[in-house]
Structure 1
Amino acid sequence: MNSQHLNMPARANQQTYDLFAPSALANSYPLFKRMREDDPVHYSESFGYWILTRYRDVEAALRDERLSSDRTALFLNQLGSLDVNLIQNFLHLISKMLVEKDPPDHTQLRKLANQGFTTRAVESWRSIIQNTTDQLLDNVQNHGCMNVVSDLSVPLPTLVLTKIFGVPETDRANFIEWAMDIGRFFGSPSSENIEEFALHADKAAAQFSALIRQLIEQRRRQPGTDMISMLTVAYSEQGFNLEELPSQCILILNAGLLTTTDLISNAVNALLHHPEQLQKLQQNPTLINCAVEEIIRFDTSVPFFFRIAKQDLTIGGKDIPKGSVIALGLGAANHDPAKFDSPDVFDITRSPNEHLGFGSGIHFCLGAVLARMELTICLTTLLRRLPNLRFDPDKQAIPTKHSTAIFKGFDSLPVKF
């Protein structure tokens, strides 16, 4: 993989942009702005990949068939000099994921995965989300304060997803821990903890797959209305190998867990930092759908997604060799003034709002419907039940510290009410 470095033209006085500097982790948008203005198709020597920051380039790349979603090469590159056997279970699980596939395999798998997101299934989730949100707020209502992350944004999607999947209560904690471990390595193209992340992810992949296989066997004998039952029926009817089903389950879990956790904390942070917008939403709750789209645009929980060049190509006047890793800057694109008026202004009435928070094209986020529903119900309930919500002046909000380019949120967000 590193051979691509040999193909890179020499660059005198190349500007470096540190995506993982504390200031960038706290607020990456000024850095994205500089990159977009100075070098919108930028090759990072330190990371070994290209970074796109303009909306038009990112949107086109999401739909470009010359770019592959199979990122096996990226995962191997992450390991550096470490033994590839460290991540055999991880690679086995990930390689069969829908998000790692190109057409025609992707087309068939997407059709199957959609069987888990029928209109009837989606509607049944509404009461699960509402009841779970109310239970979590019941736990803190009388305390006058809470940590949005540990009290709400982590447990809400965790409980919702384990209920949707029909995971027995005794397995739920492990189930989520495994999904987190897999997601952490999946989202860390550069990290000083890479060996630790790799070992945890590989062990989690083996354990997660074993549990899913066990649940599939149970649901084959006694099908229910849960996600695994619906997918098991769909796979069986279409003659697909059920051995590949754990891969789609981890995809749906990671898409619905880590990203929604971060979306909720980013949403509360954005609203509290813009009290006039918060007040507007409280006075007119019918703005919630529009507000949710602006929250996703303004501070997306997935700032980057990665592709691999299947052939030599040119983007924005830069020649990109076959095999290159390309980071599509969704977060940067969502703040591009060429696409959005006053992109750094948080405006819950913004319309139209063609953000790329859920991607675009054939890989448009499978769980977008669920994420929007969770965010809408969670925020509506939160603002109705805790109308005096505000930052806790005595405690510090802590943005996510782990070095991952794929997920962006908070490790801690203390509030009072």
Structure 2
Amino acid sequence: MSAFANQPTYDLFAPEALANSYPLFKRMRSEDPVHYCESAGYWILTRYRDVEAALRDERLSSDRTALYINQLGSLDFNLIQNFLHLTSKMMVDKDPPQHTRLRKLANPGFTTRAIESWRDIIENTTDRLLDNVQNRGGMDVVSDLSVPLPGFILPEIFGVPETDRANLLEWARDIGTFFGAARGSTIEIEELARKADKAAAQFCALIRQLIEQRRRQPGTDMISLLSVAYQEQGFNLEEVPSLCIEILNAGLLSTTDLIANGVNALLCHPEKLQKLKKNPTLINSAVEEIIRFDTSVPFFFRIAKQDLTIGGKEIAAGSLIALGLGAANHDPEKFEEPEVFDITRTPNEHLGFGSGIHFCLGAVLARMELTICLTTLLRRLPNLSFAPDKQAIPTKHSILILKGFDSLPVKFDARLK
């Protein structure tokens, strides 16, 4: 009999949990806050104090290779060799001192000056996307705004030729989808794994080609900045594709979900939406509350490097541990009335971007995109509300790593901006 046979069981992929996971997280926090999910093969932390401490715990490794192999179940891990080659060099999956080195190399691409230079791109792209729907009286927030917005911005920032942009985005999404795929049916996982592996090979080939071009003709784009930084420090340019996919997935997938989650939260709380419209200076605190209230990255994963104890539970070396950022952000021990969506909440020490050395490198960019997008949306589309004849569709894949919507239909008054 399993040592965990008598413990509570929780289904993170039940339809009601996919639609709204926070009631389930509340139960887990109350009944078994350090829970071993036997069907998935990992521990789940749901209390703020445990999650925040784990994010800073040097006994926990960020190397998620074991997670990717675990997702395959009975499938041969050789199925994802290209994927593993790409992800094995990602900063987010590295521990010090490798992480420290890679973080230093990435910093030139995320200086305040570099990020501010992208503001016009974000503003112009948001306006252009809303021009396309302005007179329709309705749109799908996902397909018309939250997907194409970073989809236009990121290739521009990276300096990717227009002929390669569609492929770049498709490969990034295929790779990112496997990052957090649930260990479900073998057929489904095999399909996701094959797509991710093929995408990883094609993505690396394109980035290497662009690196060679920028070495001959450097510019001010992200690939040029990263290539120069790597060369100046004497590091292998073969590592650049891994950092590029990390930046792309953080900026593409999580930002896509964050925008849709933000619009959904505001529409579900019309009194807060009206308050924000009347007082636009609340946008910064509203953005922080959106990130706390419905974070687009519900879990970070770590691997125990040694036997340890968390919340009174003995966790063996080599164990996978899911750090519940979304659950922690709703912990009443940390946040007063955590289920209340409060756009004036202060302080707001959420874990939506992580904590410690792995705090999200692109947090400033993500905040800028969300702030500009919501500000422009509310200014240009009066009386924004849910479309009464269409249903929102929560994301079904990658719910462990990414939480958002596949579709979010809305309506508004068709007026000139």
| TM-score category of the 2 structures, normalised to the smaller one | over 0.9
Aligned position for 2:415: none
Counterpart of 1:98?
Answer: 91
> In 2, are the aligned partners of 1:52 and 1:329 still within 8 Å (CA)?
yes
Residue number among 308, 315, 318 corresponding to 2:310 in the alignment: 315
Pair 261,403 (structure 1): closer, same or farther in 2 beyond 3 Å: closer
* 2:155 counterpart (156, 162, 182): 162
C-alpha distance in 1, partners of 2:141/2:70?
A: 35
Sequence identity (%) = 83
Pairing partner for 1:127 from 120, 123, 129: 120
CA contact (8 A) 1:20 1:403 kept: no
Q: 2:61 — aligned with what? A: 68
- Residue 387 of structure 1: how far off its partner (Å): 2.1
The offset of 1:183, in angstroms, is 0.4
C-alpha contact 2:177 2:398 (8 A) present in aligned 1: no
Question: Following TM superposition, by how much is the alpha carbon of 1:13 offset from its aligned partner in structure 2, in angstroms?
Answer: 2.6
The alignment status of 1:251 with 2:246, answered yes or no, reads yes
1:10-409 residue pairs with structure 2 within 5 A?
Answer: 10-192=3-185, 193-402=188-397, 404-409=399-404
Q: Number of paired residues? A: 410
What's the C-alpha RMSD, in Å, of the aligned pairs? 1.0
Instruction: State the distance in 1 between where 2:257 and 2:83 align.
Output: 23
SS of structure 1 residue aligned to 2:35: strand
SS in 2 for 1:204: helix
Q: Secondary structure at the match of 2:118?
A: helix
Q: Distance in 1 between matches of 2:20 and 2:252?
A: 22
1:404 CA drift (Å) = 3.2
Amino acid paired to 1:186: F
Give the Å deviation of 1:14: 2.1
1:81 to partner: Cα distance: 1.7
Equivalent AA in structure 2 for residue 70 of structure 1: D
**C-alpha distance in 1, partners of 2:59/2:204?**
31
Shift of 1:79: 1.4
TM score, norm. by length of structure 2: 0.97
| Distance in 2 between residues matched to 1:246 and 1:189, nearest whole Å | 25
**Displacement of 1:120 after TM fit?**
1.6
Query: TM-score w.r.t. structure 1 length?
Result: 0.97
Counterpart Cα distance in 2 of 1:244 and 1:403: 25
Give the whole-Å Cα distance in 1 for the aligned partners of 2:231 and 2:81. 27
Once residues 247 and 81 of structure 1 are traced to their aligned partners in structure 2, the CA distance between those partners, rounded to angstroms, is 27
